[in-house]
Structure 1
Amino acid sequence: MMSRSARRKGKFVAAAASVLLTLAAGSVQASTYAVAGDDDKGVPSGGWFQATPPPPGYGSWSAAMGEQQILDTLADRILETVPEKGSGYGSVAIDLQNHRIKLYWKGALPQDVQGIIAGAPERVLVSSASYTREEMLAAAELVMQHRDDQSTHIVSAGPTADASGLSIGVTGSVEQGRGLDVVKSLGMQVSVKPDRPVDTGEAPGEPVPQSVSPQLNSTVLERRTDSNPNWGGAWTNSKGNGCTAGFPLHDASGHSLMLTAAHCLEGTPVGDLPDVDVHVGKVSKNFIKAKWDSRDLAVIDLRNQTSSAARMWFGAATGSTDLTYMTVRGVGGNHVNDYVCTNGAYSGTRCGIIVDAVDLLVSHAYSGVLHQAVEAHSWDGSNAAGQGDSGSGVFTLDSDLQGVRARGIQSALSSWPHEYVTCTGLTTMGGGTKSRYCSNHIYYTTISASQGHNWGLVTTAP
């Protein structure tokens, strides 16, 4: 398959709250205000079960996710102290097996970072960084500006996990990558690898459903028949592009919104216009409030809805009622070695996905260059996401396996054939006329990339 990049350049017991997202050197900071809750639509809440063994050193996934949450919170606390410019911060990685984080810093640690570490010295291993995050990102930007200058193309660029330099992916060999003019000009250690081309993961050619009342409730609710108030993980359709709703949002004016991938709405204009009809489940006549093309993020205005719900469909793909729901409890940053889940309407919920790299710039069919991307793979080689799963929320699980913490929005798949895997959930798209493909290797954009606006993620109160 030729990639597009080759073709073109109940009711809540707890109150709900909306988390306003801001970005500080890759961290996520949150402030909250109360919004309305919702009923449970007759869908049971339920935990998550993973048939594969838990990570090494852990007797259960519950124990592993509880430990990861502690480490992620510690990493986020450190990152919240890091200014956008002028910091010695290099990178941070989770070391789940050894119950600690690895922090790489250039120069002396600031007092506020020392203070955080002093509260849990056994949890933080500090090492010297060769370069700061700021220096590595500047180099990555330069490299991607010259990605197509020579016959060997640059697919991705970003900081190494240990802050030792830049990691780049190329379409040719390692030797060809090292020989690129822009790479030789950097004056920085560069790790080169043959890299996969990526393809956006919408399901094209889906029949556009007839408009229906936003209040119409199907007798049997699932992702495709989701109704007001919409939950994350519902099926979406815009001009025949089948995708997935990400995370529910809310703004200070009381509007209900939904975060998804911008490429799912390609060809659909921004604004409340007569010809705009974005379907989320059975709810129609929604419109696009905003797009950030370089982040592949978009916000759908659910203009007919009266409340926002901090809930996610969880479990099987669309067409099945073997579903529960999870509550959205918070938001956090992405760290190398985190275990995350995707939640596509076409593949269903997929967990056991390990973060390989953060702060990536990736050559992308829709965005040109996708910024603030995260690369991840399925640890058992199974489906991480597939066509139709674009726009879905990416999240971590709480230790009780009942709630999730938002991390990002699914954007792209590997289009290396040897990374194609058997799809879970639906095997076809385009109204059943075409086979869909799935991959064990994905790219998503961080939830914090939508910061800077007067709306936020809807979460349950802590």
Structure 2
Amino acid sequence: MMKMRAFAALSALVGTLAISNISMAEEKPELPAGGPVEIESPVPDGFDSWLALMKVQERLDSVADKISGLPQSDSSGYGNLRVDVKTNSIDVFWKGGKTSSLLAVVEEAAHSGVDVVVKPADYTQSEIQEEIGRILGDSRSREPSRGASRAYAAPDASSIYLYGTGSEEALRQVPSIHDSQVPVVIFPDAPVSVDNYDRRHDVPAYWGGSYMFNIQTGGACTTGLAMENGDEDFLLTAAHCVKTGDTVLVNSDPNTPDGAGKVVSRSASKDIAKVRMDGNPSTAGRIYWRDYLTSHSEAVFGTGGNHKGDYVCQSGAASGTICGIYTEAVGVSSWSHEMNQLVTGLAQGYNKWGAATGQGDSGAPVVSVSSNGLGVFARGVVSQGISDVFPPACEGLQHPGRICSRTVLWEGISSATSVWGKVKTSPWISN
């Protein structure tokens, strides 16, 4: 079924649809995990295919997850890390003496062929995140003359990288920056942060990556990953797209007006929200894949953490699937002007080949391709894009005035699974 309809048809639908009278269309057939997953982005140097890269990355991320989850104290702990798929290694920046738990992970990694290099760090990730929260939570840092909006730990955990639209001098006058217990390095940022971005027609069982229209606001975003908690069944999206109680549609065809859902909960500080769709169960562990008009999907096999050096894909309703996004930083905090709210727990990625995201993609699933090439692992949902001085050409939907960006911020999937349940998955398929 065609997944895209004109904006004019969308307006007509909103004017005539009676939510209470919605009937369910014929459900999708249950699909096995397909394969191989198609990625059209150029393969990074040193690899013959994206599948070869993902095999290395999956092994490295397994070790990185263990290290970043080790206990921290005021005097010792994980500061930051970077995985390097080209050298099959991980640089770990660690404050204080090497603990027995860290040494055990390093030794285990060596037996599996992963080289872990531990380097000194000045601060733990917890110390840095505490200071970031204090700085971006200070309204004076966000005044127009300063415009502080985004911050994360330096790669070596020696300082905080802070981005603002105002002058460095003005930012240095803010007490929370001037008196920060962690050194702050200030970078210029574009004056406008593109906080909001815009497959068009979904039916049960609903998949992530579809178009989502908010009846109350008239805004369009993307559904994220399917989740479940006991008998509860729902889709994720971005909190800045909705309010609790809003009614949303994932079907813009007035001839088959299905696909209504209700926003039942949201966390503004994590920019995630729960959408309970009609039907039970109403969702499945798959996401739309390929272009923005696609009916193709891929299976979700599980979840994974975010680490500097990872390559990921995002699958937005407006842009379609974009891969080759390089993870530049994790533990990012960024001020959402749309919600007037600090968002924490973000990862930041950059696509050097073109747009990483665009308007209409907010809430979209961010994933990595499994090492067997037959599915994906959930990494999070799209939160924001960072505007460029020279914006890239948009992928997918070519709507007049649509803004796209090479840099994308996404909320880590653990922010949702830690409080709302687990990501719905499809059975693992081995080669």
- Aligned partners of 1:376, 1:244: CA distance in 2, in Å? 18
Residue 439 of structure 1 is matched in structure 2 by: 405
Pick from 115, 131, 138 the counterpart of residue 123 of structure 2: 131
Residue of structure 2 in register with 1:24 after alignment: none
Task: After TM superposition, give the deviation of residue 102 of structure 1 in Å.
Answer: 1.0
1:74 Cα shift? Answer: 0.8
**Cα gap change, 1:269 to 1:150, in 2 (>3 Å):** closer
Check conservation: 1:45, 1:325, Cα contact below 8 A.
no
State the AA in 1 paired with 2:392: V
Q: Deviations over 1:224-282 (max 9, x none)?
A: 222110011111111221111110111202x32001101121xx433xxxxx5311236
How far is the alpha carbon of 1:175 from its aligned partner? 5.2
SS at match of 1:151: coil
- Contact between 2:70 and 2:78, CA under 8 Å: does it hold in 1? no
TM-score when scaled to structure 2?
A: 0.83
Matched, 1:355 2:331: no
Distance in 1 between the 2:177 and 2:272 partners? Answer: 30
Give the superposition deviation at 1:441.
1.3
Deviation at 1:366, TM superposition (A): 2.8
- Work out whether 1:201 is the aligned partner of 2:172: no
Q: What is the CA-CA distance between 1:332 and the residue it aligns to?
A: 1.2
CA gap of 1:85–1:234, structure 2 versus 1, over 3 A, is: farther
Which of 356, 376, 384 is equivalent to 1:404? 376
Whichever structure has more strand as a proportion of its residues is 1
Equivalence for 1:376: 349
- 1:297 matched to 2:272? The reply is yes
Partner of 1:225: 201
The match for 1:234 is 210
Mapped contact 2:329–2:349 kept (Cα < 8 A): yes
Corresponding position of 1:28? none
Q: Please tell me whether residue 257 in structure 1 is matched to residue 228 in structure 2.
A: no
Contact 1:104 1:129 in 2 (8 A): yes
Q: State the percentage of identical aligned residues.
A: 29
Q: Secondary structure at the match of 2:101?
A: helix
User: Structure 2: which amino acid aligns with 1:354?
Assistant: Y
| 2:103 aligns with one of 114, 121, 140 | 114
In structure 2, C-alpha distance between the alignment counterparts of 1:389 and 1:137, rounded to whole Å:
27
**Does 1:66 pair with 2:25?**
no
| Aligned residues of 1:289 and 1:300 also touching (Cα < 8 A) | yes
Alpha carbons 2:312, 2:325 under 8 Å: kept:
yes
**Cα gap change, 1:329 to 1:38, in 2 (>3 Å):** farther
Q: 1:31 matched to which residue of 2?
A: none
Question: Which residue among 226, 248, 255 is the counterpart of 2:226?
Answer: 248
1:232 is aligned with what amino acid?
G
Secondary structure of residue in 2 paired with 1:192: strand
CA distance in 2, matches of 1:334, 1:452: 15
Q: In the comparison of the two structures, how many residue pairs are matched?
A: 388
Aligned to 1:341: 313
In the aligned structure 2, how far is the partner of 1:86 from the partner of 1:104? 14
Report the CA distance between 1:446 and its aligned residue: 1.2
Residue 26 of structure 1: aligned partner: none
Q: Which blocks of at least 5 consecutive residues in structure 1 are unaligned?
A: 1-36, 204-222, 271-275, 429-433
Aligned counterparts of 2:318 and 2:152: Cα–Cα separation in 1: 30
State the match for 1:141 in structure 2: 133
SS in 1 for 2:86: coil
**Does residue 325 of structure 1 match 2:320?**
no
Number of the residue aligned with 1:162: 156
- C-alpha contact (below 8 Å) 2:41/2:322 kept by paired residues: no
Q: Is contact 1:155–1:363 with CA below 8 Å preserved after alignment?
A: yes
Alignment partners' CA distance in 1, 2:261 and 2:48? 45
Displacement of 1:315 in angstroms is 0.3
Q: Confirm or deny: 8 A CA contact 2:388 2:406 kept in the other structure.
A: no
The reply on whether 1:277 has 2:247 as its aligned counterpart is yes
Contact 2:244 2:264 in 1 (8 A): no
**Hey, what does 2:39 align to over in structure 1?**
49
Deviation at 1:416, TM superposition (A): 3.3
Report the aligned-residue RMSD.
Answer: 2.4
Aligned with 1:310: secondary structure? strand
2:259 is paired with a residue of what secondary structure?
Answer: strand
